[in-house]
Structure 1
Amino acid sequence: MITLHNDYLTVQINPLGAELTSVKDNDSGLEYMWQADKAYWGRHAPILFPIVGRLQDNQYRLNDQTYRLTQHGFARDREFTVTEQTATRVSLELTADAQTKALYPLDFILTLAYELVDHQLRVSATVTNPATAPMVFSFGAHPGFNVPFGRAAADFTDYHVTVSPKKVYQRVPLVGPYSDTQHSVPLDLTQPLALNHELFAHDAQVLTLDNHETTVMLSTPADDHGVALTVAAPYLGIWSPYPKQAPFVCLEPWWGLADDVQATGDLTTKVAIQRLAGGADFHAAYQVTYF
């Protein structure tokens, strides 16, 4: 396990999946991250690559070949190599090999960097296309946060999600595990969104951000602690498993979507797919402030 530490926070990252597993307040010992209780959800903050969400029939076509790939891709279950580490920063790398090419035939270099700056953890990702031909992929993050933040006096329904800028967002409905991008609906976030488990009866609340910088804060009037995630991404998912009464919420920046209900299976025409020229880099980043 990799440990980062500064005056305010101590962070742990597992090289398996380059997964953030713990963020603790040094003074109080308060744990912000979901601790992967398998009764609810056995992960903390998986990295989503080379797809976000689920493919229809868990398969896709590329260059006239059919490949099988399960939900959110394989990066979350692969061992990353540490390429740089200091007390407050670590960089980890995953590259294509025979096992990944059986699932996704393209060459890639995926680099994740985590950096502690005061009360904030900055997360950045780079996808490099080392080939000459273009590549198509999606990328996402899936961090889960304890709700409540270690206070037995506060309940899940005492928390709310506040989105800035405050406005009416377009929400992408999910039909089962698939996106219905043709029937986006308005979601009024001019006021905080009160949490309740029924909010996730149809899976995640998927907001269209259109790459505009957006801050999503998870907090409660009953307590001073919370998290604020800032990102400029195409989409952001808010999720907690239903009908389980799970004591956590995920705030998920996405550079991609699950297959559309009208998907053809061709990865090159997949909804919200990213395209990267040969020799080029793709960059994604988000920051979480813990308070």
Structure 2
Amino acid sequence: MTVTITAGHLQATIAEKGAELQSLFDTTIELEYIWQADPNHWGKHAPILFPIVGALKDDTYLHEGVTYHLPRHGFARDMVFEVVDQRDDFVLLQLESSAETKSVYPFDFRLQVSYELGGDGLVVRYNVKNKGQEDMYFSIGGHPAFNVPLEKGLRFEDYYLAFSPKKSRVKLPLKGNYIDYQQRTLGQTNTDLSLTHEMFENDALVFETKGLQSFSIRSEQSPHSVTLSYNQMPYVGFWSTYPVKSPFLCIEPWCGIADTLESNGLLKDKVGIQTLSADTDFETKYSITVK
């Protein structure tokens, strides 16, 4: 099942499975901004990553002496959310812990995801509540994929990635599925970055971020662009498939990252993990602006 919301010239479609954004469509110019999940390339649109971001070593972690197993990016993207509130331009979806989730993640939680259209874009909000009596450890992130090119007649290589603010950011290189934290360097994000498929030869480009951030996919040959912005996410990933050359680019705002090569497997010690006290909430959001 899906839910469609509208505001002005924009229309967004969200699936109950995974609370996944499936479409962001401009009805005036008939332009789709979200990747349409061609399984020959990548069969998803914009999965939500929870309760981990990235991969665990051997898909395994330890908590209070017990071993648990979670796949890359967690389980939320594969579970059906409940629609708990809906208006013309807004929808709120919810996932709560269950016997099924507790078998792999032993915390009582409530995850709410909302989508709200307005102006020239969409605001995506995450709210995580710890319903338990002990500290809860988690990560959460977005994985929206945008069509590149955005219009016919252009190529992936006709686009570039613009960073704001234009300054260097700490780059976290991947070695296999894991972060090689000891080899982090300053990445050249102080200038526009021309898109090529080869730039993803070693998987995603991952950077640390602080404060207000904005990342735009643009082309000198088109008036149409898409921008993702946020103010409370400590990491961002950029990804497309390789060696399969796919016509999309993911801009991924994260509160968490994959295990580092040095990870000891303890969830509470995981680099980038969020800690939420009993009966408290965590909130963050990002926005997608389109032209």
1:113 positional shift: 0.6
For each residue in 1:160-204, what CA deviation from the matched residue of structure 2 results, as whole angstroms up to 9, or x when unmatched? 100000011111000011011222111112221100011111111
Q: List 4+ stretches of structure 1 deviating above 4 A.
A: none
Separation in structure 1 between the aligned mates of residue 193 and residue 208 of structure 2, nearest angstrom: 16
- Could you tell me which residue of structure 1 aligns to residue 180 of structure 2? 180
- In structure 1, the gaps of 5 or more residues are none
In the alignment, is residue 121 of structure 1 matched against residue 122 of structure 2? yes
In the alignment, which residue of structure 1 is the partner of 2:192?
192
Rounded Cα–Cα distance in structure 1 between residues aligned with 2:268 and 2:189 = 33
Residue 134 of structure 1 aligns with which residue? 135
Q: Which residue does 2:216 correspond to in 1?
A: 217
- How far off is 1:286 after superposition? 0.2
Q: Does 1:43 align with 2:44?
A: yes
- 1:229 has 2:228 as partner: yes
**What do the CA deviations read for 1:115-167 (whole angstroms, capped 9, x no partner)?**
0011110000000001121100000000000000132x211011110000001
**How many residue pairs are counted as aligned between the two chains?**
289
Counterpart Cα distance in 2 of 1:170 and 1:182: 12
Question: How far off its partner does 1:8 sit?
Answer: 1.5
Correspondence list, 1:9-48, <5 A: 9-48=10-49
Aligned residue number for residue 273 of structure 2: 273
Partner of 1:170: 170
The secondary structure found in structure 1 opposite 2:131 is coil
* In 2, Cα distance between equivalents of 1:198 and 1:20: 27
Aligned position for 1:108: 109
* 1-structure distance, mates of 2:219, 2:40: 25
Return the alpha-carbon distance in structure 2 between the equivalents of residues 142 and 71 of structure 1: 13
How far, CA to CA, are the matches of 1:137 and 1:69 in structure 2? 12
Helix, strand or coil at the partner of 2:279? coil
1:103 positional shift: 1.0
What letter corresponds to residue 184 of structure 2 in structure 1?
Answer: S
| Deviations 1:23-67, CA, capped at 9 Å, x for gaps | 111112111100001111110000000000000001111111111
Measured against aligned partners, the alpha-carbon deviations of 1:81-108 in whole angstroms (never above 9, x if no partner) come to 0110000000000000011111101110
Aligned counterparts of 1:42 and 1:67: Cα–Cα separation in 2: 27
Q: Distance in 2 between matches of 1:273 and 1:22?
A: 30
Letter in 1 for 2:40: A
Q: Secondary structure at the match of 2:31?
A: coil
Report the Cα offset of residue 2 of structure 1. 0.3
Q: Secondary structure in 2 aligned to 1:199?
A: helix
* Counterpart secondary structure, 2:103: helix
2:8 corresponds to? 7
TM-score norm. by structure 1 comes to 0.98
Partner of 1:156: 156
One-letter amino acid of the counterpart of residue 161, structure 2: V
User: Which secondary structure does the structure 1 equivalent of 2:182 belong to?
Assistant: helix
Q: Secondary structure at the match of 1:103?
A: coil
- Paired letter, 1:121: L
Kindly provide the amino acid, as one letter, of the partner of residue 231 in structure 1. Y
Task: Look up the equivalent residue of 2:144 and give its one-letter code.
Answer: P
Residues in 2 aligned to 1:116 and 1:226: alpha-carbon distance in whole angstroms: 17
- Quick one: distance in 2 between partners of 1:129 and 1:58? 23
Counterpart-to-counterpart distance in 2, 1:231 and 1:200: 23
Q: Percent identity?
A: 42
How far does residue 207 in structure 1 lie from its aligned partner after superposition?
A: 1.2
Cα distance between partner residues in 2 of 1:273 and 1:172: 16
Distance in 1, Cα, partners of 2:172 & 2:243: 21
TM-score (norm 2): 0.98
Shift, 1:72, TM fit? 0.1
Check if 1:55 corresponds to 2:36.
no
Unmatched tracts of structure 2, length 5 or more: none
